[in-house]
């Protein structure tokens, strides 16, 4: 994975057809997805239960771009190697998930993956200030984690603070929750470069109508990029 700050759209397959994941992944990539976002929930850290390492391993052969795995679980450390073995390119853990985030990020990198750290809406940017040299991605939650399709919570002030804190470090800022063509410009202008979108990408489409995915991805990307263009003027 090379690093750049161009806008990347990472559809969350939590909004895909669960009976057809392989073709869904292939369809979104063919229609312009930059990354594939996999939300892992344990029914404990968050009130929902989704994918474990076997599912992620089954997704891997279909993902030709970047498999971005977001762990909404606690504890994290006992499962790091399993997700590495399953083929995750990026593994993100929540700063709220345990007391030893340094060790978690070191272990993720040690297992050969890029390391991400996520912040719930109620957690300030300063919570990861001491972790910036150990992380490759900061995921700013713009909903409370646990379910797809929630209403966007405005975290632009936090994103701006993170952008300032990161400086010239090669660290992505990812936004997860409620991203659509209306909210994408807000976070892009604040400094985010990776946009996770679930229902905004998958709504109205299917593997039989993949062009709808493409239209949705283009709409989110265009909205985000237009904000950057306006900011540069």
- Give whole-number Cα distances, 66 to 2, 4, 205, 216, in Å: 11, 14, 22, 19
- pLDDT tens-place values along the chain, 233 residues long: 789 999 999 999 999 999 999 999 999 999 999 999 999 999 999 989 999 999 999 999 999 999 999 999 999 999 999 999 999 999 999 999 999 999 999 999 999 999 999 999 999 999 999 999 999 999 999 999 877 667 899 999 999 999 999 999 999 999 999 999 999 999 999 999 999 999 999 999 999 999 999 999 999 999 999 988 876 65
Instruction: Confirm if 70 and 116 have CB atoms less than 8 A apart.
Output: yes
CA 67/CA 87 separation, integer angstroms: 8
pTM for the full predicted model: 0.96
The active-site residue out of 34, 39, 68, 180 is: 39
The active-site residue out of 42, 89, 176, 193 is: 176
Whether 39 is a known active-site residue: answer: yes
Whether 176 is a known active-site residue: answer: yes
């Amino acid at each position: 994975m090379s690093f750049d700050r161009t806008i990347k759209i990472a559809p969350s397959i939590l909004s895909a057809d669960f009976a057809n994941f392989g073709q869904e992944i292939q369809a979104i990539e063919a229609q312009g997805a930059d990354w594939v976002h996999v939300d892992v929930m344990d029914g404990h850290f968050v009130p929902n239960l989704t994918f474990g390492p076997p599912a992620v391993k089954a997704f891997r052969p279909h993902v030709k771009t970047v498999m971005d795995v977001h762990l909404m679980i606690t504890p994290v450390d006992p499962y790091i190697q399993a997700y590495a073995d399953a083929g995750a390119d990026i593994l993100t853990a929540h700063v709220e998930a345990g007391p030893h985030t340094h060790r978690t990020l070191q272990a993720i990198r040690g297992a050969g993956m890029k390391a991400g750290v996520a912040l719930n809406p109620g957690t300030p940017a300063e919570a990861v200030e001491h972790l910036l040299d150990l992380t490759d991605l900061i995921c700013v939650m713009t909903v409370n984690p646990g379910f797809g399709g929630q209403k966007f919570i405005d975290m632009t002030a936090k994103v701006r603070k993170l952008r300032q804190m990161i400086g010239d470090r090669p660290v992505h800022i990812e936004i997860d929750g409620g991203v659509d063509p209306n909210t994408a410009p807000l976070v892009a202008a604040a400094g985010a470069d990776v946009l996770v979108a679930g229902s905004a990408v998958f709504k109205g489409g299917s593997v039989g109508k993949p062009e709808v995915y493409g239209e949705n991805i283009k709409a989110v990307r265009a909205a985000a990029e237009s904000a950057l263009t306006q900011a540069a003027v």
